[in-house]
Amino acid sequence: MSALTKEIRSFVVIAHEKSVRKAAEKLHIAASALSRQVKILEEDFGRKLLLRLPKGIELTEQGQALYKQAQKWIAEENRFRRSIEEGQKPKILQLRIGAVGCLSHSFLPRFYKKVLSDLGQVRIHFKIGDTQTLTDLLLKNELDFIIAFNVARNEKIHFAGQYMSKIGLVHLPGLLEEGKQSIDLYDCLKWPLCFPDVNLSVHTRLYSEIVRQKSSFDIAATSNSFNLLANLVLNGVGVSFMTWYDIEKQVQDGDLVFTPLTDKQLEEELCVCLPSTVTIDEQTQIVLDSIHEVIQLYHIPVAP
| Per-residue confidence (pLDDT) for residue 304, from 0 to 100 | 37
Q: What tens digit of pLDDT does each residue of 28-48 get?
A: 889 888 889 888 888 888 889
Domain boundaries, the chain: 6-88, 93-163+270-297, 164-267
Q: How far apart are CA 268 and CA 290, in angstroms?
A: 21
Q: How far apart are CA 201 and CA 196, in angstroms?
A: 8
Q: How far apart are CA 130 and CA 271, in angstroms?
A: 13
Q: How far apart are CA 114 and CA 97, in angstroms?
A: 14
Q: What tens digit of pLDDT does each residue of 161-219 get?
A: 998 888 999 999 999 988 888 999 999 999 999 999 988 878 888 999 999 998 999 99
| Per-residue confidence (pLDDT) for residue 298, from 0 to 100 | 66
The answer on pLDDT for 65 being more than 70 is: yes
SS3 for 70-125, per residue? HHHHHHHHHHHHHHHHHHHCCCCEEEEEEECHHHHCCHHHHHHHHHHHHHCCEEEE
In this structure, CATH architecture of domain 93-163+270-297: 3-Layer(aba) Sandwich (3.40)
In this structure, CATH architecture of domain 6-88: Orthogonal Bundle (1.10)
Q: Please check whether residue 100 is in contact with residue 147, taking contact to mean a CB–CB distance below 8 angstroms.
A: yes
Across the range 228-239, mean pLDDT stands at 96
| Per-residue confidence (pLDDT) for residue 27, from 0 to 100 | 84
Strand pairing partners for 107?
A: none
Beta strands 193-196; 219-223: pairing state: parallel
Domains 93-163+270-297 and 164-267 share a fold: yes
| Per-residue confidence (pLDDT) for residue 257, from 0 to 100 | 94
Q: Is the pTM of this model over 0.75?
A: no
Q: What tens digit of pLDDT does each residue of 129-154 get?
A: 989 999 999 999 999 999 999 999 99
In this structure, CATH architecture of domain 164-267: 3-Layer(aba) Sandwich (3.40)
Q: What tens digit of pLDDT does each residue of 288-303 get?
A: 999 998 888 765 544 3
- Which band of pLDDT confidence, cut at 50, 70 and 90, is reported for residue 49? confident
| Per-residue confidence (pLDDT) for residue 145, from 0 to 100 | 95
Q: What tens digit of pLDDT does each residue of 106-117 get?
A: 889 999 999 888
| Per-residue confidence (pLDDT) for residue 240, from 0 to 100 | 97
